[in-house]
Amino acid sequence: MEPVLTAEAQLLNDVEALRTRYSNTQELYREVCAVMFFRYGMTPTANRLYQLVRKGSMSAPAEALAKFWSQLRERSRVTIDGPDLPESLRSGAGELLTALWKQAQEAAGEALAALRAEAETRIADAARAEEAAVVRIAGLAAELAAEREISGAARKELAALRHQLAAGEAINAKLRQRVEDARKELNEQHAWFRTVERDHAASLDKLRVQLQAERDAAVAAHRQAVEEREREHAALLRLQKALETERDAGAAALESQRAELRDVVSQLAGLHQRIGMLEGSATAAAAARDDALQVLAAVRRELAVAQAEAAAAAGRAAALETALHHTAGRAGPATPRKRPPAG
């Protein structure tokens, strides 16, 4: 919206336009007088003219103003010509018309002044309204700029969110596919685990049966070893009684044979302890099939060693009994001893 110019601003613009058209100082002052008087209804003065034009000396606007008033009076004078009219009538009619002209000019000037005052009031109101509108427009422009900035940021954020949403949907699709693949793999693993579990359960059942058989064999061997130990103990008691009668004759041999018997008893105790350890190993073997098979193999080897050592111990006991029998035969008759069965 273009600003509404006041009468003073319009007058200054008109004076600047006249400067470009008239280079002569007197002509320029005369035209400015005409514009002030006829266009704006202002009474020109020499001081006011000089303030507007500022050209030449102070006498230039006064001279131009005098010529303007003289020309204006000449133009406003009315002359009535008629060959038959007396001079006094013509002169009176002219003065009457001149007075009427002046009154008409004064009335027109007053109406023009009223119109100018009303126009200036309207111009002032329009200027104030324009200022308010400019302020309002500036506020609206600022609000619009802020809204545009917010809208731009919102559009950028929306684009970023849409991009993130698309990326999230792609990631979700990949994750769903991975979950589906993992579910299929898990189902396959469950089927394989069930198969392995059934096979493992069957293997464990077989292993339990085998371990039970081995445990029964170990218990029987332990029982046989205990019985052998008891027989050995009974034999030792008999030997001790037989040896008491031969103490004086075979003290040295008897002491050596007692030491050997103590070794045999110690070996038998060790065998008993190892048999107990073998039983514990056989019990622990049920926890894992591979370890149980290894333990079972070890148990078998240990059991074979124990049986071999028991047989060796039985052989040594038999040899000892033979030696004692021979010693007792030299010393006197002795109670015959039943040879224990080999383990």
pLDDT for 22: 93
- The residue ranking higher by pLDDT, 98 or 6, is 6
pLDDT for 119: 52
pLDDT for 116: 58
pLDDT for 69: 94
The residue with tokens 């081995």 is 214
From 24-33, 125-134, 145-154, 164-173, the region with the lowest mean pLDDT: 125-134
Given a cut of 60, whether residue 146 has pLDDT beyond it is: yes
Per-position DSSP letters for 18-68, written without gaps between them: HHHH--SHHHHHHHHHHIIIIIS-----HHHHHHHH--S-THHHHHHHHHH
Task: Give the tens place of pLDDT for each residue, 180-237.
Answer: 887 888 788 878 868 878 887 888 788 888 879 988 987 898 899 789 889 988 988 9
pLDDT for 28: 94
pLDDT for 207: 80
Task: Give the tens place of pLDDT for each residue, 227-250.
Answer: 988 998 898 898 788 778 878 776
Angle between helices 87-245 and 7-21 (to 10 degrees): 110
The residue with tokens 């609206």 is 140
pLDDT for 93: 54
Task: Give the tens place of pLDDT for each residue, 253-305.
Answer: 768 878 887 987 788 888 788 878 877 876 775 677 787 688 778 878 988 99
Taking the whole predicted model, whether its pTM rises above 0.85 is answered as no
In whole angstroms, give the CA distance from residue 95 to residue 266.
177
pLDDT for 272: 83
